[in-house]
Chain A
Amino acid sequence: MSEELTATTIAITGAGGDEIEAYLAVPEGAGTPRGGVVVIHHMPGYDSSTKEVVRRFAAHGYAALMPNLYYREAPGASPDDAAAVARANGGVPDDRLVGDVRGAADYLLALAGSNGKVGVIGYCSGGRQSFLAACTLRLDAAVDCYGACIVNPPPEGMPLKVNPIVGLAPDLSCPLLGLFGAEDKYPTPEETAELSKVLDNLGKQHEFHTYDDAGHAFFAVNRPAYRPAAANDGWQKIFDFYGRYLAG
Chain B
Amino acid sequence: MCTYNTEKVEISGSGKGAQGWFSLTDATVYFDHPVHAMAEHTLNIDFRDAALGPAARVAVELTAESARALAAAIEAALAAVPAQLAS
Interface residues, chain A, with chain B CB atoms under 8 Å away: 42-44, 47, 73-74, 77-78, 80-85, 87-88, 91, 124-125, 148, 154, 158-162, 184-186, 215-217, 223-225
Knowing A44-B33, A217-B33 are in contact, say whether A160-B55 is a contact too (CB < 8 A). Answer: no
- Say yes or no: B3 contacts A158, CB within 8 Å: yes
B11-26: contact bitstring with A at CB < 8 Å (1 yes, 0 no)? Answer: 0000000000000001
| Min distance, Cβ B41 to any Cβ of chain A, angstroms | 9
- Say yes or no: A88 contacts B1, CB within 8 Å: no
- Say yes or no: B57 contacts A81, CB within 8 Å: yes
Q: Nearest B residue to A80 by beta-carbon distance?
A: B35
Knowing A43-B32, A88-B46 are in contact, say whether A158-B59 is a contact too (CB < 8 A). Answer: no
- Say yes or no: A88 contacts B48, CB within 8 Å: yes
| A-B CB proximity, top 8 nearest | A186-B1, A77-B54, A81-B54, A74-B54, A125-B2, A43-B2, A84-B46, A80-B35
What residues of A have a CB within 8 angstroms of the CB of B82 in the complex? Answer: none
What residues of A have a CB within 8 angstroms of the CB of B33 in the complex? Answer: 42-44, 124, 217
The interface size bin for chain B is 20 to 34
What residues of B have a CB within 8 angstroms of the CB of A83 in the complex? Answer: 35
Interface residues, chain B, with chain A CB atoms under 8 Å away: 1-6, 8, 26, 28, 30, 32-33, 35, 38-40, 46, 48, 50, 53-55, 57, 59
| Min distance, Cβ B48 to any Cβ of chain A, angstroms | 7
- Say yes or no: A91 contacts B4, CB within 8 Å: yes
- Say yes or no: B48 contacts A84, CB within 8 Å: yes
- Say yes or no: B1 contacts A87, CB within 8 Å: no
Q: Nearest A residue to B6 by beta-carbon distance?
A: A87
Q: Which of B1, B40, B55 contacts A81 (CB 8 A)?
A: B55
Q: Which of B4, B50, B57 contacts A162 (CB 8 A)?
A: B4
- Say yes or no: A84 contacts B2, CB within 8 Å: no
What residues of A have a CB within 8 angstroms of the CB of B30 in the complex? Answer: 87
Complex Cα distance, B83 from A212, in Å, reads 55
Knowing A44-B33, A78-B55 are in contact, say whether A88-B28 is a contact too (CB < 8 A). Answer: yes
- Say yes or no: A84 contacts B1, CB within 8 Å: no
- Say yes or no: B59 contacts A84, CB within 8 Å: yes
Knowing A85-B54, A216-B40 are in contact, say whether A124-B2 is a contact too (CB < 8 A). Answer: yes
What residues of B have a CB within 8 angstroms of the CB of A87 in the complex? Answer: 4, 6, 28, 30, 46
| Min distance, Cβ B18 to any Cβ of chain A, angstroms | 9
